[in-house]
Amino acid sequence: MMEKKSIEMLKAGWAMFARYGFAKTTMSDIANEAGVSRQTLYNAFASKEDILRAVVRHAGEESLATVIEEWTKLETLEEKLAAFQIFGPQAWYEVMITAPDWGELMDGMHKASSNELDALERNWVAELKKVFEAEAPEKSVVSPEELARFFYSTSKNAKYGVKDVAELKSRLKTILRATLALADK
């Protein structure tokens, strides 16, 4: 578990990345926002790339925990998949578009944190696979792992080319219907 001070530095990092973009943000900006000295920040994180990786990891873990908790309250496969889309791709998109340079920030995220994003994807797919194993009929022509990979990747990538949240929601709904059809639900 991460210390409260480190979490505050990550929140400051995200706030600065969202405000100025990844490339323009400096370690001094992050330290000032967090209310710590640059040395304290450097003691915790060697670079802004390290901060971005930690932000991605922390946010991803929190998001996954939120979805898993939400799943315990839901009964059907459709409800569980919809919850993933709301607390996952839709929420991620809504956070990203609030940043003035969100396109640049997304590029910076992929470059600086690709290993973190890959690990998070493996965790999400593993959890979705469990849902499909428990909820999808055995006669499904697509395996639970294939369903999990398809649903995760198409839902995550639905954000590309959309003009607003309403269009994203429409895409996600189509992906949900297609996945349920593949799962024979």
CA distances from 94 to 51, 53, 66 (A): 21, 20, 16
Burial label for 148, CB within 10 Å (0-12, 13-18, 19+), is: buried
pLDDT(108) > 60: no
Q: How far apart are the first and last CA of the chain?
A: 38
Average pLDDT on 169-175 reads: 98
pLDDT higher than threshold 90 for residue 141: no
CB atoms within 10 A of CB 94: 12
pLDDT in tens, 42-94: 999 999 999 988 988 898 899 999 999 999 999 999 999 999 999 999 998 88
Give me the architecture of the 53-182 domain, per CATH.
Orthogonal Bundle (1.10)
Give the pLDDT band (50/70/90) at residue 3.
confident
Domain extents in the chain:
53-182
- Mean pLDDT value across residues 81-109: 81
